[in-house]
Structure 1
Amino acid sequence: MTDTSLPDVWQTIDRLAARFEDHSTLPREQRILLQLLKIQEEAGEVAEAVIGATGQNPRKGYSHTWEDVESEICDVIVTGMVALRRMNPEAPDVFARHMSRIADQDLTEPLPHQGRE
């Protein structure tokens, strides 16, 4: 079985956010906007990996694996967490509250009937 224990995720996110903040000389609003755009860039890399894993680009063929897709999805998640942290120093609490709402609402309500019997 694989060890799935994680280091303190938010500690790592804090370090990444601080590193990016230290690197940029742009005004705060622009730094946040660019970080938000970075989420879209990473999502595009997921799409590219899926296309490559399915061999749907005639020029490149099978250029990626499903493991590549998983890695790109992780990059989207991390980038989103960094964006939330750069926007709000209370990001762990904001995220925890959001996850609680998801658990309370989305996981307790039945799914709508989808026409299957």
Structure 2
Amino acid sequence: MSDHPPPGPELWASVDALWKWLDSNRPIEDREGLLLRILKLNEEVGEVAEAVIGATGQNPRKGVTHTWDDVQAELCDVVITALVALRTLTPDAREVFTRHLERVTERSRTSS
């Protein structure tokens, strides 16, 4: 367990900085660029799958090629990519995410 508090406003400042950097270096603009940004999630999820397969040695030709730390890092990449994609869709990403998280949390409380 880390001694650091969970990310708060600095998380969203980092997401915004990454969004600005990516937008200033975006080779394809408009709707196509937006769609490609969202599709990046699929690539990142594939990297999670690759890491899990590598951590469990499921490919007999390759054996164990990853660690569970690699899986954690890839999952973090998925989260970051999703938050940046959300920020690309709306400048209100923090509020949209917070409201959605509250709904999902409330739903989990009422379904038990």
Q: TM-score, normalised by structure 1?
A: 0.88
Aligned equivalents of 2:101, 2:2: Cα separation in 1 = 25
Q: CA RMSD of the aligned region, Å? A: 1.3
Which residue is 2:92 aligned to? 90
Q: How many residues align?
A: 110
Equivalence map 1:25-104=2 (5 Å): 25-104=27-106
Which residue is 1:113 aligned to? none
Higher helix share: 2
Larger Rg: 1
Which residue is 1:2 aligned to? 2
Aligned equivalents of 2:48, 2:12: Cα separation in 1 = 23
Is the partner of 2:110 in helix, strand or coil?
coil
Alignment of 1:18 onto 2:41: no
Residue ranges of structure 1 left out of the alignment (5+ in a row): 111-117
Identity level (%): 46
Q: Which amino acid aligns with 1:2?
A: S
Residue ranges of structure 2 left out of the alignment (5+ in a row): none
Q: Which amino acid aligns with 2:11?
A: V
1:60: how far off? 1.4
Q: TM-score, normalised by structure 2?
A: 0.91
Q: Which moved more, 1:80-89 or 1:24-33?
A: 24-33
